Amino acid sequence: MDSSKEQLLSPSPSYEHEHFRRSYDARESFDLGSDLDATEFLQSDPLTSSKPSAAFSTQPRNRWLRKTCGCLAGRSTRCIIGCLGVFALVWLALGAGGFFAFKKYKQTPPDGLSPPWYPTPKGGTARNWADSYRKASEMVAKMTLPEKVNVTTGTGWKMGPAVGNTGPAIHVGFPALALQDGPLGIRFADNATAFPAGVTVGATWNKQLMYEWGNAHAIEARKKGINVILGPCIGPLGRMPAGGRNWEGFGADPYLQGIAAAESIKGIQEEGVMATIKHLVANEQEHFRQSWEWGLPNALSANIDDRTMHELYLWPFGDAVKAGVASVMCSYNMVNNSYACGNSKLLNGLLRDEMGFQGFVMSDWLAQRSGVASALAGLDMSMPGDGLIWEDGKSLWGPELTRSILNGSVPLDRLNDMVTRIVAAWYQLGQDDETKFDRKGPNFSSWTDEPKGVFAPGSPTEQETVTVNQYINVMGDHAKIARQIAAEGTVLLKNEGLLPLSRDTSTHSNETERRNGPLQIAIFGEDAGPGEGPNLCEDRGCNQGTLASGWGSGSVEFPYLVTPVEALAKTWEGNKDVKVSTYLTNKPPFSKQPEILRDAQLCIVFANADSGEGYKAWEGVNGDRPDLFLQKGGDELIIQVAQGCHGGNGEVLVVIHTVGPVVMERWIDLPNVKAVLLANLPGQESGNALADVIFGDLNPSGKLPWTIGKSLDDYGEGAKIMYMPNGVVPQQDFKEGLFIDYRHFDKYDIEPRFEFGFGLSYTTFKFSDCVVKELKAKSPFPAPRPKDFAVPPEYDTSIPDEEEALFPKGFRKLEKYVYPYLDTVDDIVSEPYPYPDGYDVQQPLSGAGGEEGGNPDLWEVYVTMSTNITNIGDRAGKVVPQLYLRYPQGISTVEFPVKVLRGFDKILLEKDETKTITFNLTRRDLSYWDINAQNWAMVVSGEYKFLVGQSSRNLPVSATW
């Protein structure tokens, strides 16, 4: 597609800010923030006050690490006129209705394929939450109406130190909550770890590291005064390999995503910090994900059938709920033409009734698109509190929710449940323990690096200057965890005897003959070096230097970044037998200095591919990548180096840092490309982790969390980003159903370049013997839904006295701050409210529900499979056994994937050691979603087949049940 057409509805991809603000000074910008995105073309944008980081400093200082890089900051008259002209042309071209279609869809379209599900099931029915709900009910019963509203509504963007802040319920002792972006670390914070990205964690296939990643993050968050981490991320799932935010999740398979989510949630919440699983659901691309961000008045609708929703996109959310996650964040997009944060079927029917979710649902930042309707549909917390426009202080809840209670449009029963869910989560995580949570709030500011500032910089009202940054170092020894994850998340894709490199440089491991003099090693590529520092661009929104993170609200300030060239050079430092030359550019002067390549015996070349959240753009990458190729001429660099290294006879090691799959066909089979390492997004310990693998200090054990195809077309039509809207309300039909990533490759018998789950080792493993043991007999459906363990709290539902909703006398307001109070109650009128269709229809309870995570029978182990694994190589290494399930064939008219992942583990084996690994398969693992029975069904006739091996296409042992 013509790149000029791709950008017709998006902001200009590049613009350099002349100066970067150090405090709260206003500036024009289209840069946006938090888990949040921007609302382009509206009155203001949230990250106009994005701030530099203090990193390691214990006091404020100027930083070389961060300079400005943004888009559309200062707009010329010519630019504005041009943009308006293009904008007008696009509107005329869109759809059959042009401008009339625009007028028709200025308001949210009526719900389409998403049926109503009312009323919202109340929390407090599950065994594990019963005590927390008891405590919460006692507190909520004493709250005033304004206090209840305060707990459910954010105070507004930049109206507090965190990216999300709620108001307190002072009279009952419930504090304001601070919510901060993840999942790579603490966004906007100083002296905090920049962990590897979620995709790198997924590539470890190591459950223990998944747990430790979450736990370390939570330790730092708690010590910084944060109550709620906005992570982990399992949506997007990875339907589209070029999706901008795929790197925040764990891989393109629901089972892998679900296990990683559950483990990281356990790690986070065992520290007492609330985890937030996001984004519910089907937010699979950045283009058109949010109203107005791309110039359209409504977001894209992801249209998904019932079975695909359950087996693919909702599957990992089920694992998260089973793990006890405190919060779920609903996404910006529509689901079947109903906004996710106002979709009653999704929030009430699927999440609460089927999955038994006991925590609270928060909106993504400005993803709430209605007031009363979203409350009725199951939203519990509005973030950041502003309504349809950033930083205007006009909340859809806040005083409007207070008014809605007083006029009877929102039942007090619903508000009580909203508040109780939030307070119960607070008790559930032990945040009432003041020895761990001091109730003083964050000890850092998201909006400035200066030690002094104001509490609510988003308000123009004059405020007292106070200490906002205490520069507390919370990193501890977490660099060790970050390094281990980065190393184990590095995937060895190709190795023809080159790796590991020997520190004894008399020879390579491949015994390349030395010439007279030292071994000549040349390192090429911008991606090997520091560039202009890891924090050059806001929210990491540009690709320069070595790539260690994608961009957006999931990014963090790097306290430091160990580059590959730094770590490699340090290894050879002082060694007279080695001469290292570095060319940290993607355009070395090969023509003018041919000896650069001619003299090199070992060439190490680095390249990358970047992407991020849709509110930022960089050189044609508008959130989503425009293709699957390496960026900044990376493919050309690799080819030039391979062809010229030592006259074409030198050995070449290629290292790739990437947000997702990249097409390697132009160079992967070149004869002197001897080894390829895919290092994903490694975080601050990038170079050290890479050196650990290259020199064999750690035997590579990473596995691909997605498939690397030979072209984008290999992934199917459903894998392609919608770069141009197909209507004023873009409609994206998930017609491929269950068949994404390796499932698609299997169905159509497409040979990938590297399959899902693939990754080499420096040793060799042998799988042998299979033993299947039945623990429970097959049966069509789960056991009957059990009765609720506990009865939800009940409260007085009489409408409160209107007078308690008024601003207290003498109250000093901050302009734009979201309060729960009203200026007057004289205009409160109780009239019949036009409730949505189906609101008065009581829904039958799902047989798939009954407890946290769903029907308890779904989590019972029905069969086990054991196999032996032996290390037959010459060194110790970690093996990742993977179990894939094949449903009984030819028995049912239901179509199944060729195979689906249903188990994995990671174990260390010494040389010649054998261990037995056992996989436990639950009823849920063995079931599919029966759209007629509306329940999880097991195939009771025929044979299930279990296949075990080291990747989705290397499965040497199998057994049937």
Phi-psi region of 834 (alpha: psi -120 to 50; beta: other; left: phi over 0): beta
Q: Are 764 and 699 in contact (CB under 8 A)?
A: no
Q: By CB neighbour count within 10 A (0-12 exposed, 13-18 middle, 19+ buried), where does 31 fall?
A: buried
**CA 831 to chain CA mean position, Å:** 43
Q: Is the peptide bond before 384 cis (omega within 30 degrees of 0)?
A: yes
> Count H helices, E strands: the chain?
21, 29
Place of tokens 């986070």: 268
User: Which residues have a Cβ under 8 Å from the Cβ of 819 and sit 6 or more positions away?
Assistant: 146, 167, 398, 399, 807, 813
Whole-angstrom CA distances from 252 to 93, 467, 738, 924 are 35, 44, 12, 19
Q: By CB neighbour count within 10 A (0-12 exposed, 13-18 middle, 19+ buried), where does 830 fall?
A: exposed
Q: By CB neighbour count within 10 A (0-12 exposed, 13-18 middle, 19+ buried), where does 595 fall?
A: exposed
| 3-state SS, residue 48 | helix
Q: What distance in Å separates the CA atoms of residue 392 and residue 818, rounded to the nearest whole number? A: 9
DSSP for 277-300?
Answer: EEEETT---STT-STTTTS-SS--
Q: What distance in Å separates the CA atoms of residue 296 and residue 352, rounded to the nearest whole number? A: 31
| 3-state SS, residue 722 | coil
Q: Which residues belong to the active site?
A: 364
Beta bridge mates, 690: none
Maximum Cα–Cα distance for the chain, whole Å?
94
User: Which residues have a Cβ under 8 Å from the Cβ of 471 and sit 6 or more positions away?
Assistant: 54, 57, 58, 59, 190, 191, 444, 451
Q: What distance in Å separates the CA atoms of residue 615 and residue 637, rounded to the nearest whole number? A: 30
Handedness of CA 748, 749, 750, 753 (dihedral sign): positive
Q: Tokens standing for 877?
A: 């290494």
**Amino acid, res. 74:** G
DSSP for 644-685?
Answer: HGGGGTSEEEEEEEESS----TTTTT-TTEEEEEE----GGG
Q: Are 918 and 866 in contact (CB under 8 A)?
A: yes
Q: What distance in Å separates the CA atoms of residue 330 and residue 150, rounded to the nearest whole number? A: 20
Q: What distance in Å separates the CA atoms of residue 423 and residue 327, rounded to the nearest whole number? A: 12
Q: What distance in Å separates the CA atoms of residue 340 and residue 283, rounded to the nearest whole number? A: 10
Q: Tokens standing for 617?
A: 């753009």
**Amino acid, res. 290:** Q
Q: List helix spans (H) across 604-756.
A: 634-644, 686-694, 742-747
**CA 466 to chain CA mean position, Å:** 34
Q: What distance in Å separates the CA atoms of residue 353 and residue 362, rounded to the nearest whole number? A: 17
Q: Is the peptide bond before 13 cis (omega within 30 degrees of 0)?
A: no
Q: Tokens standing for 488?
A: 């184990």
Give the helix/strand (H/E) hosting 207: helix 207-223
